[in-house]
Amino acid sequence: MYVYDRHDQTLIEERVAQFRDQTRRFLAGELSEEEFRPLRLMNGLYIQRHAPMLRIAIPYGLLSAQQLRKLAAIARRYDKGYGHFTTRQNLQLNWPRLEDVPEILAELASVQMHAIQTSGNCIRNITSDHLAGIAADEVADPRPFCELIRQWATLHPEFSYLPRKFKIAVSGAAHDRAAIKVHDIGLLLRKDADGALGFAVYVGGGLGRTPMIGELIRPFLHRRELLPYLEAILRVYNLQGRRDNIHRARIKILVKALGPAEFARQVEAEFERTRQNPDLLLDDDAIAAMQRFFAPPPYDPTAAEERDHLHWLQQDAAFARWYARNTVPHKQPGYRGVFVALKGFGRAPGDMSSEQMEAVADLAERYNFGEIRVTHTQNLLLAHVRERDTHAVWQELNRHQLAAPVIGTLSDMIACPGLDFCALANAGSIDVAEQIRQRFEDLDYLYDLGDLRLNISGCMNACGHHHLGHIGILGVDKRGEEYYQLTLGGRGGLDAALGERLGPAVPKHEVAETVARILETYVALRQPGESFLDTVQRVGIAPFKASVYAEPVSEERAHA
């Protein structure tokens, strides 16, 4: 992974000092709340329902064991002993004290971490594919480019007061696992007809209250010109994006208003100028130097000959179930990617205690070259575990309640923090996720339902990506009551689509029952081997609507 040298270290330490002084001036009354607000947001600090929330950056979701241990220690010392991993691969602390934040940032800086640009109207954490570097369907590893973009975007003098937040995701694989089409900019590594490596560039995707799928504005951008092109997009947006209405300020609104073709034309015109700046061009030496940071770890070429785990797969049904659901193939023979499930056991999706973080840091050092990844779906991944070690890793994960064998199933839900923590939310997310999880505890039924993405957002800001859930659940406020609107057929990936609304919202206690009716309908209608998503696409939502709304679940709805 990328390692700081004195340049990086100097910058983050100066950022800590700057924020310490800004906090001091705010507490002393020298900075108004209005003036301090964007400054603290650009350092990931929100004022929330109960306490401030601090969002710590995990660039493209990559962590060292040492960093994860530091996060555990920070959560224990300054928070309530746990943290929350987000869909954008960051970590949120829900209970720090404002006065402690400069100290937390100083501790983070000691392990090459920070909270820079995890919020605010600036370029946010660059996210990527959690299977980068290990997936067989990869054209090229996206992480070196993520890091180059991160450096270009960090403390960017021109793009720190944008009309609104700005999110960039990079994928290098045939299957998009980074949701690039719902980002302000989505970059897809590809090769042109001559075999040159570059990017397809998507712009203007996003969720929130006006969800949109990104538009392809450039089918091929040479890798050398990545930064001048990004700079051109950002400059057009910075100058023309709306600033009069926060809900109309994202780049997607500008792309829609101008039309993708006109937007692309303006970007190309600016690109003709920005590409003249030699300092922005990425020569192959610079790219190669960055690629060395992400070189494969020293795999053992004999690993594929070790078959110990096969014995366990036959002997231990629980292990076999976990192995089938929670591990993924690795392009290096003899290795697997192993998910650390932050789901199940009554926890909020993505939540992890300090003890669990430390246990995973130990596992990473023993079995995974000291590396940990955060996934878009709010789990962790140990990306390079020897197959022969999977049984030992499973036992240890099990001991720490990190081995719920539900990855990719209905129980592997994405959920935002919701009304319990977030000042924006209209309704709870965590308790609804728990209601659903409890209702579908039977693993055989979960496995029979197959791959299923269920996403929950507590409000239309859509942090839980409900639009992209095969089943999406959106919390709404109805006359002071928590209600939930369901959508079907949403999906991420390169054929991303937004879910279609099923019908009227249902009260909170009916959510699990409503999901049950949807799933019963699927089971009744599916063809052999057909996934939930494929069935919804084939039959449309009408049959689901009919089964959900045919009979009232409770008295309450009969009279609603």
Partner 1 sequence: MRKIIRDGAIVVDDWLDLDATAPIPPQGKIIVPLARWLEEKPALLARVPRGVGVRLGPDHDPFALASDLPALALIAVEFPVFRDGRGYSIARILRQHLGFRGELRAVGDVLRDQVFYLRRVGFNAFAPRPGLDPEQVLAGLNDFSDAYQPAADDIVPIWRRRQPAPVA
- Which of the residues 507 through 536 are near partner 1 (CB under 8 A)? none
CB within 8 Å of 194: residues ≥ 6 apart:
none
- Which of the residues 8 through 37 are near partner 1 (CB under 8 A)? 8, 10-11, 14-15, 18, 22, 31, 35
Assess 121 for contact with partner 1 (CB under 8 A). Answer: yes
What is the 3-state composition of the chain as percent helix, strand, coil, each rounded to the nearest 5? 45, 20, 40
- Max distance between CA atoms of the chain, in angstroms, equals 69
Burial of 422 (0-12, 13-18, 19+ CB in 10 A): buried
- To partner 1, the closest distance from the beta carbon of 388 in angstroms equals 23
Assess 543 for contact with partner 1 (CB under 8 A). Answer: no
In this chain, which stretch among 150-158, 254-262, 450-458, 542-550 interacts with partner 1, using CB under 8 A? 150-158
**In sequence order, what DSSP letters do the residues of 18-80 get, joined into one string?**
HHHHHHHHHHTTSS-HHHHHHHHHTTTEEE-SSSEEEEEP-GGGEEEHHHHHHHHHHHHHHSS
Assess 246 for contact with partner 1 (CB under 8 A). Answer: no
Tokens of 311: 């014995």
Residue closer to partner 1 by CB (options 296, 333) is 296
- To partner 1, the closest distance from the beta carbon of 431 in angstroms equals 36
Assess 151 for contact with partner 1 (CB under 8 A). Answer: yes
Assess 196 for contact with partner 1 (CB under 8 A). Answer: no
Q: Which of 219, 297, 301, 540 binds partner 1 (CB under 8 A)?
A: 297
- To partner 1, the closest distance from the beta carbon of 9 in angstroms equals 10
- Overall residue count recorded for the chain in this entry: 560
Burial of 411 (0-12, 13-18, 19+ CB in 10 A): buried
CA 136 to chain centre: 21
Instruction: State the Cα–Cα distance between residues 379 and 502, nearest whole angstrom.
Output: 28
Residue closer to partner 1 by CB (options 4, 95) is 4
- To partner 1, the closest distance from the beta carbon of 238 in angstroms equals 5
Assess 257 for contact with partner 1 (CB under 8 A). Answer: no
Instruction: State the Cα–Cα distance between residues 373 and 383, nearest whole angstrom.
Output: 7
- To partner 1, the closest distance from the beta carbon of 29 in angstroms equals 14
Assess 445 for contact with partner 1 (CB under 8 A). Answer: no
Residue closer to partner 1 by CB (options 239, 324) is 239
- To partner 1, the closest distance from the beta carbon of 177 in angstroms equals 24
Strand-pair partners of 486: 473
Assess 5 for contact with partner 1 (CB under 8 A). Answer: yes
In this chain, which stretch among 271-279, 372-380, 527-535, 537-545 interacts with partner 1, using CB under 8 A? 271-279
**Total residues binding partner 1 (CB under 8 A):** 47
Instruction: State the Cα–Cα distance between residues 78 and 252, nearest whole angstrom.
Output: 38
Residue 280: φ, ψ to 5°: -90, -15
- To partner 1, the closest distance from the beta carbon of 424 in angstroms equals 19
Assess 158 for contact with partner 1 (CB under 8 A). Answer: yes
Q: Which of 136, 239, 423, 524 binds partner 1 (CB under 8 A)?
A: 239
Residue closer to partner 1 by CB (options 286, 546) is 286
HEC per residue, 88-106: CCCEEECCCCHHHHHHHHH
Residue pair 460/480 in contact (Cβ under 8 Å)? The answer is no
Residues that bind partner 1 (CB under 8 A): 3, 5, 7-8, 10-11, 14-15, 18, 22, 31, 35, 38-39, 121, 148, 151-163, 227, 235, 238-239, 243, 273, 277, 279-280, 286, 289-290, 292-293, 295-298
